Amino acid sequence: MRPLRLMIAVLLALGPLAGCKSCRQADGQAVAPDAASSVGGLSVEQAQKPLAKFGDHVVTLGDFAKVLADMPEYERIRYQSLERRKELLRSMIDVQLLADEAKREGLDKDPALQEETRQILVAWMRSKLLAELPQAAAIPDGDVKAYYEAHKDLFVEPERRRIAQIVTHDEAAAKRAADEARAAGTVGWGALVKKYSEEKPASTEAPELAGDLGYVTAPTDAHATTSPRVVPAVRAVAFTLKEVGAVADPVKDALGLFHVVRLVAKQPARDQSLSDVERTIRVRIVQEKRADRERQLVDETRKTTRVEIDEAVLGQIAASLAAAPAPSTSASTSTSTSGAPSASASAATSSGNR
- The predicted-structure confidence for 258-283, as pLDDT tens digits, reads as follows 999 999 999 999 999 999 999 999 99
Name which CATH class applies to 158-271. alpha beta
Three-state DSSP state, 309: coil
pLDDT confidence tier of residue 29, bands split at 50, 70 and 90: very low
Among 251, 240, 264, which Cα is nearest to 185's? 264
Provide the whole-model pTM: 0.53
The whole-angstrom separation of Cα 222 and Cα 188 is 35
- Tell me the average pLDDT across 47-65: 90
Q: Going along the chain, which residue ranges are E strands?
A: 24-25, 50-54, 57-60, 156-157, 160-168, 212-217, 251-252, 258-267, 270-271
> 263 with 159: CB under 8 angstroms?
no
> 344 with 298: CB under 8 angstroms?
no
pLDDT confidence tier of residue 12, bands split at 50, 70 and 90: low
Domain ranges, ordered by start, for the chain: 3-109, 158-271, 311-327+334-352
- The predicted-structure confidence for 88-139, as pLDDT tens digits, reads as follows 999 989 988 988 898 898 888 888 888 988 898 898 898 888 888 999 999 9
> 230 with 257: CB under 8 angstroms?
no
